[in-house]
Every structure is written in structure tokens, then in C-alpha cells.
Structure 1
Amino acid sequence: MGVKVLVVDDSSFFRRRVSEIVSKDPDLEVIGTAANGAEAVKLAAQLKPQVITMDIEMPVMDGITAVREIMATTPTPILMFSSLTHDGAKATLDALEAGALDFLPKRFEDIATNKDDAIKLLQQRVKALGRRRIFRPIAPRTTTPKPVAPAARSTIPERERTVPATQRSKAVLRASGKKYKLLAIGTSTGGPVALQRILTQLPANYPHPILLVQHMPAAFTPAFAARLNGLCKINVKEAQSGDQLQAGCAYLAPGGMQMMLDRGGSYGRIKVVAGSADMNYKPCVDITFASASKLVGGDVLAVVLTGMGADGREGARMLKSAGATIWAQDEASCVVYGMPQAVASAGLSSQSIALDDMADAILRESGG
């Protein structure tokens, strides 16, 4: 039996188009369509789909409200379709915070330059979300927002094995005593909620700079950085070339670009480059991790969170060769166990840690 999909959009043309693309994959089956959020809530309860594709702007009930209703009554993995605009970015982040797991641009030409690649990516995303037999939505943990609006802030050698889940609690409580200069985190599908869950638990005086690489379009990263900055005690900003790394500040790689490190200041400075046109990921975790391995060497704690594919594995390999510590999110708490699995299966990560335990583990290990 294929993954059962409910397609939701107020445009009959888009419903038909998405339904046709989904149905072309033998592992997927469209079991219903809805023209607004209210219909989606009703059909989600009736049809019990394994994945829902959801538009944001719809009559009767919008997509964000529908996501909240579905998560409260019939929790189901939801893939949002969004416009690549500032307002679209904000709405998509709201949808992810409400419980949606992933998003794609609504214009297929924005997904990939090649039509066939765009179709394949959509099918892959739907299948990835539908693979888990038991779905437990993960709500982001928040803290009291900062009193200052985000826009107003000025942001200046032995082979290790993966720790089994049964040993995870003991591993989390035991710090290695190693000293660090940098925390680097890479993620993709499910990452916005995972990053918010972790970063909101770090204190304002966290002792190291933090590099964040989240697979995300260029239109989304400024809004995402601003949202995190407003929720977190640490400072969070979209990285810019020339930024001098500072302790207690997280630098989010800009969408469509590559974030690297260069010499300068106490910790180094950011260098943002366009990178190769044939790169699969912009930003790419491998590139940032590799750059950190050359500048910071073994004094890095690198964490690979939920996401499709294997981005981060080769960068983690370079970091590990330099003596850095590599952790992976555990399978049970991942939206998609792709990137963490790639790192763990290659024998690069020393711990597999649940999302709920990750912030505490980071603080214990890095002295925050």
C-alpha cells in the first residue's frame, strides 16, 4: 500500500497538478482533496491520511489555522506550500510552529530549475514524511520573548561509536571535559522547530559562537533569524561577510549562499560566498563544517539534526579527523532520519541524542 495523501488548496488547478504528480509515484496514493482548511480538518479525521499537503492562504479557514486544528484532533505530517516572499516566509514559519513538518515553494520553478527534478523532490518529501508509522508532533519550546524587537537589535583519535538509544540518558549526563571554541549545527527537514527547541534553552552568556546551517530559501532566512532572535536569550542573526564571531551569538547561514570561516578577531569571522552553481544545497552543512575544521580544528562541537539526505557527513568527517566532537540527533525524535543517520552510520558521531535532551547535553559538554 502506498502512502495515503490528502491534497489541500483553494485552486482547483493546483489541487489537480499536485494530485497528478503525487499519483505518478507508485508508492504514493491521493485519497482525497480539499478546497479550504475547514474541509481539510474534516477529511483528515474521516480519511486518516498519512501526509497532507497544505496551502496557506485559503477561504473559510486558512492553512495555519487548519494545521493547528489537525494537530489538536488528528495529528498528521503536513507539507506546506509557500510563496518565496517575506510574508510567505513569516506564514510558513507560523505553520511550522503550529505543527507542520516541512515546506516547499508553491511555484515549481522555484523548487528546481529542472521540472523533472522538482517533481521528484516533491515526491521524495511526501514519502519521507509518510514513512513513520507513528507520528508524534513536536511542539517548539519557547521562552519569554526579548523586550527589544529583533529588527532593533545590533548584532555585532580513537574511532568513536554511536551510543545506542538505550544508553542515551547516561551518555547525556556525562561530559567529556573537552574544551571548545565553537558550536556548529546543521539540519534540514524538521530543523526550524528543532533549532528553536534547542536554542531557546541556551543562556545569554553561552560561552561560544554558534554556526547554524538550515536548508532554507533566501527569502526565509532573514525572517527565521529574526524570529529566533526574538525568542532566544542568545543573539541570533543572519550571517554576513565580515561578521566577527562572538560568544553567545548564533549566525544563521543565508539561504542561497555558503557560510565559511576566515581568520580575524578572537574567534574568527564569517565569509559568505555564492559557491558553486552545481551544489545541491545552498547553504550546505558540509561546506561550513569543512571550513570550521580548517580554522578551528578539534575545538568544535558539531551537531547534525533531522533532515533528508547526507549533507553534513563529509564535513563531519573532516571535523572528526581534526579531533572535533560529532553528535547526531536520534532516530526517534527526528522528522526525517537522513542526515543524522548518515553521520551515525559512518561511525562519525559519538552520541545519538533525543531532541528533548540535546540542549542540556550541549550545555553540559560545552560548559554553558
Structure 2
Amino acid sequence: MVLAAPAASRAAAGEQPIRVLVCDDSAVIRGLLARLLDSDPAITVVGTASNGRDVLGLQAREKPDVVVLDIEMPVMDGLAALPALLRADPAVQVVMASTLTTRGADVTMKALRLGAADYVPKPTAVGGIASGDGFRRDLVEKVRALGRVAQRRRGSARPSPAAPPPRISPPVQLAAPRTVAAELLVIGSSTGGPQALFRVMKDLGPQFRLPVLITQHMPATFIPILAEHISKVGGLPCAEAKDGERIVAGRAYLAPGDRHMLVAGDRHAPVISLSSAPPENFCRPAVDPMLRSATAVMGGRVLAVILTGMGHDGLAGCRGLTAQGGAVIAQDEATSVVWGMPGAVAQAGIASAIVPVGDIAREIMTMTRSVGAFA
């Protein structure tokens, strides 16, 4: 089933509307997703489809900025449609609609490695989802942010003549470059984070000797699967962190879903502590508690990396870390899916380096080489 809708001229703040296709084999889910997205004035749903073959036909006609794509569908499933969508338009941003199951998480991770930009949990209880603000906010924010990415890549995110002139951001100031006597590497990421983590960990490789703590905003079901994929691409063993676990060199620890991952113990025998304290920056796990606790235990002997993500989680923790002599690397805007978290750190002037994702591992090596981070 294919449904093409006329584009509406409902652009927010004078910008072009974000054109979205919704593809799901369930008519109920298609309708729900389309209604939630169409309720935002910056978004126009230009069509819906029930399988991958039909959405490819719609893409050719409607030129969407974002495709929300189900994974399991008849005729052509989401994993088969994904590379075809990206070949037809490398700028299009694909958001996978994933079930919160182990299988759904595994397939979603494969989709992210194949080029999907992000994912949203697939609604299971339509009445509850439709009446709740959390799911709608997450869906709309991701689609809005990714739609602007697609438009920038095409050079089509032009304000209308009636729009006010763009606000000019102050130039980004770098903190003084430094070599850190680091004994711990901490990484924070959100939207677009899995792909960035795959790249950074792959580039670091198995020779990296510092312990690595990672907080990625993600549901609990996905965390063990993400850890497996990081281990496969990087060679550094990565696993979901356990409460009371000793932090040792040459291993990566991933914050569990719905628990803050903290550093406890002392500098010479640090351990993982998991916390169910309230969310921070609307997130649990959050990056700021990890950074605060790492600074409290390790002082300035911490190097932080802030990767792509919406919002400003990590900013406060990075301020505290740099005040104690630690250092921060931020992913640059061009390679970030969303330059929210790294942009906040960069614009605060507390990042010692702002580099493309492909250069982050090299920057880590440069800033930590003197402390034997590599064998």
C-alpha cells in the first residue's frame, strides 16, 4: 500500500518543511507515526508505504529528507531497503523503527552499521504511546534534527525571504592544547552515537591500554548488543558494566540502560557503581554523572570525548573535569549527525580539540601517548 500526500507549506521559522516518508506494514502504526509527525509545524509527511519496495518508489517521486523505516515487512524488509534508499539519495536520513527485543536490537545495530542515521522504539501499545509526550518528543526531535542534516547536505535548507537573518554564533574558542596524564578515557554520545563509537573504537584498536567508559543514550535491551558490535569492530573487549566491577586497562565498559554509570573507589582501584538516581538532562544513563564521578575519583587524569548527540549532556561534567586539569575532545559539526552535545562543549571553549570523527582516535593517541595508553 502506498499513499502520497501533498506537501504542505507549514515551514517553521521560515525554513523549508522537512519531508518525511513513513514505511511500516501495520496500517495502525503507519497512521500513528504519520499523525505524530504531521502535528509538528516543521514536518510534512509526504507519503506512507507498507513495504520496502513501495517506499523506494515513493522516494523517487517525493524526494524525502527522512524515511522512518520498519525492519520486518513483507515483499522487501527494512534491511534490504536501507542500502537501496541510501544509494538513490546519499543525503537521505533513515530512522529505523525497532522493536525493543534482543532480535530487534541486533538488527537495528546492523542497520546503523549499514548507514541508518538513528532509530526509534517501535510503538507496541498504540493507545499509551499516542497519549504520551515522551515518544512523540523523541520521534519529532530526531526527525527534525535529521531532516535539517539532509537539507544541509543538499544545500536546500534555505530560509524564505521573509525569514529573519540567521543568528551569527560567536567563533568557537579552543581550550589550551594539552597532553593529559590520563588513566581513564570516558566517552559520551547520543543521536548518531553508535556509528561514531564504531569508528572511534575501530580506529583505537586492540592496542589501546586505558580503560574506556562509554555512556550512550539507548534503551536497556540495546546495550548488550551495542557492546557486542563495538567488540567486533574495535577489537577492544566491550561489555555492559556491572555494579562493583573493577575498572581495568584495555577494556571498555558500556553504561546499562536506565542506570547511571559512575566511578567509585579510589584512583588506584577504581570500580563501577551503578545508580538509579533521577535522570539528568532527560536521560538515564547520562554523561554528566559519569564525568562528575570520574573527576571526583581520578582528578584531572581523565580524557573525555563528546560525540554526536542532541542536547547538552556532558557540558557540566566537562567543565568540572577541565577545571581539575583534564581535557576534552569534541566531534566536529560536519561529521556529527547532531551537533548538540559536542557543539555545547565546543562553544563553551573547554574543548582542547574539535575534530572529525575519523581523527578522534589519532587525537586520543596524541594526548595520551606519554602515559602508555598503547602497548
Aligned position for 2:132: 115
1:275 aligned to 274, 277, 292, which one?
277
Q: Is 1:162 aligned to 2:173, yes or no? A: yes
Moved more, 333-342 or 275-284: 275-284
Aligned position for 2:143: 126
2:110 aligned to 87, 94, 105, which one?
94
**1:73-222 aligned within 5 A:** 73-75=88-90, 76-107=92-123, 115-132=132-149, 133-135=151-153, 162-163=173-174, 176-222=178-224
Gaps of 5+ in 2: 1-15, 155-171
Cα deviation per residue 1:223-259 (whole Å; 9 max; x = unaligned)?
1111211222211111111221111111010111110
Aligned position for 1:11: 26
1:319 aligned to 312, 321, 334, which one?
321
User: Conserved in 2, the CA contact under 8 Å of 1:162 and 1:351?
Assistant: no
Specify the SS of the correspondent of 1:316. helix
User: Conserved in 2, the CA contact under 8 Å of 1:108 and 1:115?
Assistant: no
The one-letter code sitting in structure 2 at the alignment partner of 1:94 is: K
Moved more, 281-290 or 358-367: 358-367
User: Conserved in 1, the CA contact under 8 Å of 2:264 and 2:273?
Assistant: yes
User: Conserved in 2, the CA contact under 8 Å of 1:108 and 1:118?
Assistant: no
Cα deviation per residue 1:237-285 (whole Å; 9 max; x = unaligned)?
1111122111111101011111001115845111112222676211100
User: Conserved in 2, the CA contact under 8 Å of 1:257 and 1:272?
Assistant: yes
The one-letter code sitting in structure 2 at the alignment partner of 1:128 is: A
The one-letter code sitting in structure 2 at the alignment partner of 1:100 is: A
User: Conserved in 2, the CA contact under 8 Å of 1:80 and 1:102?
Assistant: yes
Q: 1:112 to 1:359 in 2, by over 3 A?
A: farther
User: Conserved in 2, the CA contact under 8 Å of 1:45 and 1:74?
Assistant: no
TM-score by length of 1: 0.86
Q: 1:109 to 1:350 in 2, by over 3 A?
A: farther
Distance of 1:274 and 1:114 partners within structure 2 = 26
Aligned position for 1:287: 289
User: Conserved in 2, the CA contact under 8 Å of 1:201 and 1:359?
Assistant: yes
Aligned position for 2:6: none
The one-letter code sitting in structure 1 at the alignment partner of 2:145 is: A
Distance of 1:257 and 1:352 partners within structure 2 = 29
The one-letter code sitting in structure 1 at the alignment partner of 2:46 is: I
2:304 aligned to 302, 305, 313, which one?
302
The one-letter code sitting in structure 1 at the alignment partner of 2:120 is: L
User: Conserved in 2, the CA contact under 8 Å of 1:185 and 1:302?
Assistant: yes
Q: Is 1:24 aligned to 2:39, yes or no? A: yes
Distance of 2:234 and 2:360 partners within structure 1 = 16
User: Conserved in 2, the CA contact under 8 Å of 1:328 and 1:343?
Assistant: yes
Specify the SS of the correspondent of 1:268. strand
User: Conserved in 2, the CA contact under 8 Å of 1:331 and 1:341?
Assistant: yes
Aligned residues: 335
Q: 1:287 to 1:246 in 2, by over 3 A?
A: same
Identity of aligned residues (%): 39
Aligned position for 2:338: 336
User: Conserved in 2, the CA contact under 8 Å of 1:229 and 1:235?
Assistant: yes
TM-score by length of 2: 0.84
RMSD of the alignment, in Å?
2.2
Specify the SS of the correspondent of 2:351. coil
Distance of 2:144 and 2:281 partners within structure 1 = 23
